[in-house]
Amino acid sequence: MIEIKDLAKTFAYDKKEAKQRKKKVITDPREGAGVFHAVRDVSFKCEQGKVLGLLGPNGAGKTTTLRMLSTALEPTAGQILINGHDVTKEPLYAQKLIGFLSGKTGLYHRLTVQENVEYFGRMHGLGKDELASRIDQIFTMLDMHSFAGKRADDLSTGMMQRASIARAVIHDPKVLVFDEPTTGLDVISAKTVLDFIESFKGSDKAVIFSTHHLHEVERLCDDVTLIDLGETKFNGTTAQFAALSDDGNLYDAFLKTVNDKEAA
Amino acid sequence: MWLVYKKELLELVRDKKTLIFSILLPTIIVPLFMFGFIKFASSKAQEVRDKEIKVAVINAESLPDFSDIFSKEKKFELVTLEDSNYEQAIKDEKVDFVLEIPQTIQAPAQSLKQETVALYYKGSSNLDNIAMRRLESALDIYNKNQRKALGDKFGLSNDNVVAFTKPIAIDKNNFASKREKSGEAIGSFIAYILILLAVSGAMYPALELGVGEKERGTLETLLLTPMKKWQIVVAKFGVIFTTSFLSIVMVLASYFIWSLILGFGAMLKSMGAGDVIESISGMDMFLIGSMLLPVTAIFAALMLIASIYAKNMKEAQAYMSPIMMFAFFPVLIALLPGMELNWKTAMVPITNVSLAMKDLLKGTIDYGLLGMIFFSTLIIAGVLLYFTTQFFKKESVLFRS
């Protein structure tokens, strides 16, 4: 289980940027004196066997939150706990347990798909036999055997995304974080990715799934967390989230939650 | 760490750009171009040395023996000009030199004074200088004959004439060995080339392993692996250092092989490098290589810092330009006349290495100073590597946008 408590992240502007911002009229509540509070107060929980949908408009603070979760960024305040272990204090422990995939996590273009996945598997300490068995299992699930020997720079977008997913899950992580994994994919590739994520439902893994596609949330997510302007706006089940709208659809619930906050 | 090192090295080897810029260009294309240029220049010089120089002597009848030297000397052709526009005749390449003898002239041995002959020519290049030297040495024959005739006139022996011409002859006894003399001439230049190679060799892999990873999004992937950041930095540094040092070795080996293939050994000897090359020992080579190690490490660390800090390739290249300057200035200082390795110059980083390499080539190195320079340079490299690891931990650097 992964639990995020009162998470915050503040970035300092460089001197030039801070000077320019002083001259502007600022309405964003996240702007401070020479700093930007990208994440102000985010809390949610994702349990084993469940898929949590992380929603929010562009610039809401989702990616920053996920980067903190993956240990790439250190929180300014708050806690991230995986099975009770503080990620900030034990980053190596967390890195072994987390599988992270975002639009920004790339592959090495001059290595083949197989070499890429092997490299990250070995980085996570997998032995030769275990690695071979995991690769065979994942490549079968994601239908990747046909292009395993291709260099990453020769792959289509769909192949690249499946290879990236294989890279993210090679070490059999207990917490999986997918940041917009279907963006830019065709229908068939997107289905393969979504089927793969769905296969973790009811397993020993907790899955955090950030997306802008609400039909994917409807299909996959047990719970929903909505973030906007760096704050948690909603935490609950997908059904509870849908119930926020008059006719029970996620699209209206999303707009209502965001608009309510803006009106406030 | 070893895993990252091997992976980075494999990726660099598979990169066509790396192969072209780090191997093909410095080891094949540049040497071929350079040797081709030298060959062309030397063949042009030889052409001028061998060519028949056309000389026109105006009023030759006034000083008959004078024009005779050009008839007797090989590779000179006496030509006759139809008009007095010497400039046009030279420009039209009808003649190379025009010597105009005054009509009232007498041979100096008769007039007993110095006479003047006007010379018209067009000299602007080094090749023209070669032709001029050939003409002057031909004219010296006439002067020598005149000196002898003057001596006879005044009842002077040959020794008396020589004493008149050059009262004191200097018998030079230089205690500097040939190696020292040629080492002084080419030592700084070789050090300059080696340090230049260390800097340029680090540049491309640093771009790939730092900002290249940022641009491709693989840096963030790498940061998510259970590996300490300092280990990632040391692995990347190791790859840059290895490729940079190997590129120096490969470039030197390629120049050696090309000079053998193209027969430039004799040319190197004629340039004065022969004595250095013949007298340099395996130990000297080892020490020069050892001095290059910490220098290469310094530039590998500096290039990696610039590359990690930059947002994109363009910015990284902008940061790397001052680093190149930082490398060149201390080496240029070492090239200044009179710069010698002593306890003062040994305190100036990079300059000290350059001077030490020169002394190693000259065979005059002070081993105490050499050790001090090696360890001080190594410490600088270590500090820079430590700084790079600290730099790599900063979010503001890794996620700078």
Same domain as B256, residue B142: no
A108 contact B CB<8A:
yes
> CA-CA distance, B122 to A231, in Å (whole number)?
84
Give B257 to chain A, closest Cα distance, Å: 32
Complex ipTM above 0.90? no
Among B132, B165, B198, identify where a domain stops: B165
Q: Is B222 a domain residue?
A: yes
Q: Do B100 and B135 fall within a single domain?
A: yes
Question: How would residue A264 be classed by pLDDT, with cut points 50, 70 and 90?
Answer: very low
Angle, CA A255 vertex, CA A253 and CA A257 arms, to 5°:
65
User: Which tokens go with B185?
Assistant: 């001439």
B335: containing domain: 179-398
Question: Choosing among A123, A153, A160, A178, which should be mutated to test the B contact, i.e. which has the most B CBs within 10 A?
Answer: A123
Same domain, B114 and B75: yes
| B232 → chain A, closest CA residue | A123
A5 in reach of chain B (CB within 8 A):
no
Q: How far apart are the first and last CA of chain B?
A: 28
Chain A nearest C-alpha distance from B187 (Å): 41
For residue B297, give the nearest of B376, B212, B189 by alpha carbon.
Answer: B376
| B148/B106 same-domain check | yes
- If asked whether residues B116 and B183 sit together in one domain, one would say no
Q: Do B220 and A105 touch (CB under 8 A)?
A: yes
Whether B223 and B335 map to the same domain: the answer is yes
Give domain status of residue B299, yes or no. Answer: yes
Domain count within chain B: 2
For residue B93, the domain's CATH number is: 3.40.1710.10
Distance CA B398, CA B219 (A): 8
B18 is a domain residue:
no
pTM for the full predicted model: 0.78
Is B35 part of a structural domain of the chain? no
Question: Can you read off the two tokens belonging to residue B400?
Answer: 């700078």
**Surface of A (187-206) touching B: CB under 8 A:** none
C-beta separation of B311 from B213 below 8 A: no
Examine residue B359 and state whether it is found in any structural domain, yes or no: yes
How far, in Å, are B136, B137, B166, B281 from residue B169 at the CA level? Answer: 22, 20, 7, 38
Q: Tell me the one-letter amino acid at A72.
A: A
- Nearest-by-Cβ selection for B216 from A109, A125, A167: A109
- What does residue B90 show for φ and ψ, rounded to 5 degrees? -70, -40
Which domain, by its residues, includes A72?
A: 2-263
B252, B386: one domain? yes
Is the domain of B271 the same as that of B391? yes
Chain B hits for A92, Cβ within 8 Å: 226, 228
Number of domains in chain A: 1
Q: Does B160 contact A at CB distance below 8 Å?
A: no
Q: Does A150 touch chain B (CB under 8 A)?
A: no
- Are residues B317 and B218 part of one domain? yes
Nearest to B213 by CA among B186, B189, B235, B241: B235
Q: What is the CATH number of the domain that holds A191?
A: 3.40.50.300
Task: Tell me if B234 sits within 8 A of B393, measured CB to CB.
Answer: no
B186 and B299 part of one domain = yes
Residue B219 and residue B389: Cα distance in Å, rounded? Answer: 15
* CA A89 – CA B229 distance, rounded (Å): 15
Residues B113-169: tens digit of each pLDDT: 999 999 999 988 777 888 899 899 989 999 999 999 999 999 999 889 889 888 999
> What tens-digit pLDDT sequence spans chain B (401 residues)?
888 888 888 888 788 877 787 777 778 887 788 778 878 888 888 887 888 889 999 998 888 888 888 888 888 898 888 888 889 999 988 899 999 999 888 999 889 999 999 999 998 877 788 889 989 998 999 999 999 999 999 999 988 988 988 899 999 888 877 777 777 777 778 888 888 888 888 888 899 899 988 888 888 888 888 888 899 999 999 999 998 898 888 887 887 787 777 666 665 665 555 566 666 677 888 888 888 999 999 999 999 999 999 988 899 999 998 888 888 888 888 888 888 888 888 888 889 999 998 888 888 888 999 999 999 999 999 999 999 999 888 888 887 76
